Amino acid sequence: MAQIFPKWLNLLHFVAGAGAACAVLGAVGFFWYFGSPNYTDVGYRPIQPVPYSHRLHAGAMGMDCRYCHYNVERSKMAGVPPTQICMNCHAVVLPKSEKLALVHKSYETGKPIEWVRVHKIPDYAYFDHSVHIHAGVGCASCHGRIDQMDVVQQEKPLSMGWCLECHRNPTNNLRDLTKTSVTQMDWQPDPVHQPEIAAKLIAEKKLQPPQDCSACHR
């Protein structure tokens, strides 16, 4: 057999094997990044049926998130505000604006505005807004600086790994709700005392962020 398959063919076999391994690793790396939420979800910014600007309402006007998303403190879902919430102001403010024509039509007909959902957790994962709010996790930790967005986009991957990073070490996302609000968008953790503050909050509230599968996959 040595005459049919000389030793130098071993080198070709090695090179071919190494090339195949590199190709497989390259393909895995390609799909690992380009198939991950960091690439597919972060930056998602759909056009909404009504050009609602969070930069104007939550930023310049200082409206609290909870005025529109009024269920966020007591419900699993933050909730899409019904047209009535919009009309509380816009029955008087800019009532004849063409940009608000769909809002007025929705109010008159009773047909909800078909807002396009931006942040979506997979159906097989359980997430409760109220639990996180009462733990002291602010809106900006997951949604970014909504108050600076004319068109809302997804800022964080909201992936399992990303959530687990916070559950393993929530220190920089916990704020003292006696001193600030969960809706304060420009809140930043204290660069010096945050570990001490977080440790105190964890002890007082007996926080034990779960890391087992059953916590989210019920």
pLDDT digits (tens, 9 = 90+) for 171-196: 999 999 999 999 999 999 999 999 99
The larger pLDDT score, comparing residue 1 to residue 43, is at 43
- Same domain for 153 and 121, yes or no, is yes
1-15, 79-93, 165-179, 198-212: the lowest-pLDDT one: 1-15
- Same domain for 155 and 69, yes or no, is yes
Residue 106 lies in a domain: yes
- Same domain for 72 and 19, yes or no, is no
- Same domain for 75 and 88, yes or no, is no
What pTM does this model have? 0.81
- Same domain for 176 and 139, yes or no, is yes
For the chain, the domain total comes to 3
- Count of alpha carbons within 13 angstroms of residue 76, beta-carbon side: 6
Residue 158 lies in a domain: yes
Q: Cα(114)–Cα(101) distance, rounded to whole angstroms?
A: 14
pLDDT at 4 > cutoff 60 = no
Residue 41 lies in a domain: no
Residue 3 lies in a domain: no
Range of the domain at 25: 8-34
CA distances from 147 to 23, 52, 64, 153, 192 (A): 44, 12, 10, 11, 26
| pLDDT at residue number 25 | 60
| pLDDT at residue number 1 | 47
